[in-house]
Structure 1
Amino acid sequence: MQETLEILRRNGMLVVALAVILMSTVWSIDPAITLRRALALLGTTAVGLLIYIEVGRAGLLRFFVMNLALFVVGSVVLALVMPQLGTHPSGIFAGHWRGLVDDKNGVAPAAAVFLILCLGVRKQTWVMTWSIPLLAVGSLLLYRAGSATGYASLAFGIAVFVIMNLYRKSPPLRLLIVCGVGTLLLIATLNYSTLFNTALAMLDRDATLTGRTAMWQALTPLITERFWLGTGYGAFWYDPSGYSGFSGSSRWMADMNYAHNAYIDMLLNVGAIGLVIQLAFLFIVSGRLLAGASRDDSDATTMLVVVLTLLFVGIVDTGALFRANAGLWVMIVAFACYAAEWRVIGTTGTRRPALQASR
């Protein structure tokens, strides 16, 4: 109990974010749905906390790699043996693999994260024997899912992985690396349109991002209407057909269940106030993991790459950010606990004696 309270204290912004989500029941457009889904998120978050406490720092990455391996292998087997369940049976995505989840946009980010984790732990003895088969199976699942989001997130994750490992291993070059990344971001910002269109062409996608931009535009007035507090966690997409904004040419969105953008969904759920708090938590976790990378902690470096990749996924998909019943959200919570743990000796993940004795 003492350890749990200490971890929660160190993750105060997470507690605040969850409190805002729970309180959104008060102003929700559907209080019953918000309460039910907020409690589901609290339960999902508690799972991440318990995994961290029971598995410990040293075994955390191994735990998630092994569980994602089971998910990836199970998805591939299901798609091959029972394609009526493991693939999209009809529609524009017919034949695309979805594995053990509802659609390809759910399985692709998980496959990408799995591949990144495999790269991060590839030199550890327990995974070296299986690294090539695991990478092959994960790559097959990602490829057959046919998700541009999955491809882009893997490319982004590998690029960040290379940069962060160079940052971790080369202290004299860190300032140069930071300046280089800053310069690249500035160039990308100034040439956003050209780079964006080039990326779309490479991924064989149009400028609407498969209808996403039209959806975001239609959602704008609805977000403005309840800008500060939102419509309540999980309430809007439960029955969006009641909104006048979904009449006429926008009626097709009444059949959707998320905005294909984590940050727009945050605005819909808990408004600008909640969005700022949730992003503050995610940025704090990233900053702490970056500090771990600066101490030559390879596990923290890999975790940081995963968190940044999931932040990237959130731009074009709801992803795992503050999402109930999502395994990747469990992972983020566990990584946040790792990042918040204080008095880490070297990179072995030794716990503070007082906390260790409390178990």
Structure 2
Amino acid sequence: MPQTKSYARLLRRIELLGIFVAMLLLSGAVFPLLLSQADGSLTEAARAKLRMIAAPSYVIGLGLVALRPAAVLRGVQHNVLLMTLILLPLASILWSIGPSITLRRAVALTLSMAVAFVFATRFTPRQQLVVLAWVLGGATFLSLVAMAVLPGRALMPEDGALRGVFLHKNVLGWVACLTVVLGIAARLDVSARMRRTGLLLLVAGLAALLLSTSVTSLFAAFAAVVVSRVVLLVARLQGRTRLAVVLGLILLIPLLALLLAVGFGPLLEALGKDPTLTGRVPLWSMIDAEISRHPLLGHGYGVFWTEGNPAVWSIWESQGWQAPNAHNGYRETMLGLGSVGLLLLIALTFRAVAQGVTLCSMAPGEGWILPVLIVCISLILNLSESIFLKQNDLLWLLYSASVISISCRHAALRHPVPEPACIVATAI
């Protein structure tokens, strides 16, 4: 028996170390900045090295899956929608305008998902919070330190905004926003120690967020505060009252989306920002025309923004800059996978939020507010950046892990006897 416990502790340490290293490699911290040129750009040689840096995360993810295959298999069984969405890029090879590129990037996406499944099925939300506090909170603190120690590297060359240990200020903005989300979740935890940690995360996250001047990330952080209060309010309600509030929110969300679409430009002007979102609005008008050419299944996963595509050269020449992506996750999904991919993503998100709110009510001490917030702020961050279904990207993996965690625990609560929980409660 002592040997069995020692072996279990060893496996747990391996899981912790593996997940920490894999997430650090996929976070975009330090390595891209070290490989960048003085103006922040990356050469093709540097990009090739960054792709090699992602490779160890595949090995780690697959190795951890091999350690606990049963838990990961249950995660797959409870996430048919997500698996369909992940396999769709591979299927898009059949209609892709660049099959070899689609194959390479779809395989990278599939391999990187191993980390998300392990993180979701082997760590509870409270354990996930601790791991992410070290990875994302640590990167946020390090970025603030870098501003004082290495300002030449830590500040953007053009406008002096803080990018910290990341290649661009927007990447720091995303990480800082997630650090704020971690702080919110920690402040709502049952542990006094976790609540104190949450205060530190909130302060560091807000400071880095303001210094990065990332408007979308700042808006997402504000939305996270509002959503956390609304979710907790709905979770406390019962019966017809809860149903009425949920229906009201369903009607309110499209109205808020419309107000945001109409009023975002004037709001940016009032804040002294470019109402075209640094050229994104003219770019989107041309992208919409390309989406209409292949509305159902798209052009193929990850292949539109390549030099071999004549359509992208027309966009680049018209806009006067070489956009690397659509700078909008919804349009990027439509470009690659069409309306089929977008509808799968919408269905997956609505199910995750609905089940997550239920878990906040049924298991209030387990920290389910964290995955719910991650899913919700992903919707906002994708308004001006392309994060959905992005290979080798930590933000997409966190969205996926949140969806997997929620679906597994929801299924376990609905079928407690025949269906064992796929999330373990082993202490970190």
Q: Same fold (TM over 0.5)?
A: yes
The answer as to 2:184 corresponding to 1:116 is no
* Letter aligned with residue 252 of structure 1: G
Q: Is the 8 A contact 1:218 1:250 kept in 2?
A: no
1:118 CA displacement:
1.0
- CA shift, 1:181, in A, is 3.3
Partner letter of residue 171 of structure 2? Answer: G
Question: How has the CA–CA distance of structure 1 residues 248 and 273 changed in structure 2, closer, same or farther, with 3 Å as cutoff?
Answer: closer
CA contact (8 A) 2:307 2:313 kept: no
Which of the residues 145, 161, 174 maps onto 2:212? 145
Contact 1:169 1:296 in 2 (8 A): no
Supply the distance in 2 between the matched residues of 1:153 and 1:240 (Cα, whole angstroms). Answer: 35
TM alignment of 1:93-112, pairs within 5 A: 94-112=159-177
Matched, 1:234 2:302: yes
Alpha-carbon contact 1:230-1:270 (below 8 Å) kept: yes
Q: Which residue of 2 aligns with 1:324?
A: 391
CA distance in 2, matches of 1:235, 1:30: 6
| Letter in structure 1 aligned against 2:211 | R
Distance change in 2, residues 1:186/1:217 (3 Å)? closer
Distance 2:96 2:250 in 1: 40
Aligned match of 1:133: 200
Aligned with 1:282 (options 349, 352, 371): 349
**Partners of 2:164 and 2:172 within 8 A in 1:** yes
* Structure 1 contact 241–251 (Cα < 8 Å) conserved: no
* 1:21 aligned onto 2:67: no
1:283 is displaced (CA, Å) by 2.3
Asked whether the equivalents of residues 29 and 235 of structure 1 are also in contact (C-alpha less than 8 Å), the reply is yes
Change (3 A) 1:68 1:162: same
Higher relative CO (CA 8 A, sep ≥ 6), structure 1 or 2? 1
Paired residue type of 1:315: L
Give yes or no for contact 1:240–1:246 (8 Å, CA) kept in 2: no
Letter in 1 for 2:163: R
Q: Is the 8 A contact 2:105 2:391 kept in 1?
A: yes
Separation in 1, partners of 2:258, 2:101: 43
Distance 1:194 1:263 in 2: 18
Matched, 1:37 2:80: no
Q: 1:157 is aligned with what amino acid?
A: A
* SS in structure 2 at match of 1:229: coil
Aligned match of 2:405: 338
Given that residues 218 and 245 in structure 1 are in contact (C-alpha distance below 8 angstroms), is that contact kept between their aligned partners in structure 2? no
TM-score by length of 1: 0.86
Q: How many residues align?
A: 351
Structure 2 counterpart of 1:5: 73
Cα shift readout 1:22-44 (whole Å, capped 9, x = no counterpart): 12123222222212211121122
1:322 partner amino acid: L
Runs of 4+ in structure 1 off by over 6 angstroms are none
CA distance in 1 between partners of 2:357 and 2:294 (Å): 35
Shift in CA distance, 77/28, structure 1 to aligned 2, threshold 3 Å = farther
Compared CA separation, residues 186 and 42, structure 1 to 2 (3 A): closer
Residues 194-205 of structure 1 mapped to structure 2, 5 A cutoff: 195-205=263-273
Residue 312 (str. 1) matches residue 380 (str. 2): yes
* 1:240 Cα deviation after fit: 7.0
Cα deviation for residue 188 of structure 1 reads 4.0
Q: Sequence identity, in percent?
A: 25
Which of 330, 340, 357 pairs up with 1:273?
340
Q: Kindly report which structure 2 residues correspond to 1:158-173, keeping only aligned pairs within 5 A, or say none.
A: 158-171=225-238
Over 3 Å counting, the alpha-carbon distance change for 1:248 and 1:326 in structure 2 is closer
Q: Is the 8 A contact 1:168 1:301 kept in 2?
A: no
Per the alignment, residue 148 of structure 2 pairs with 80
In structure 2, what residue type is equivalent to 1:119? I
Give TM-score scaled by structure 2 length.
Answer: 0.73
Counterpart AA for 2:343: V
After the TM superposition, which of the residue ranges 23-32 and 35-44 deviates more from structure 2?
23-32
Q: 1:182/1:356 Cα in 2 relative to 1: closer, same or farther (>3 Å)? A: closer
SS in 2 for 1:225: coil
The alpha carbon displacement at 1:248 in A equals 8.2
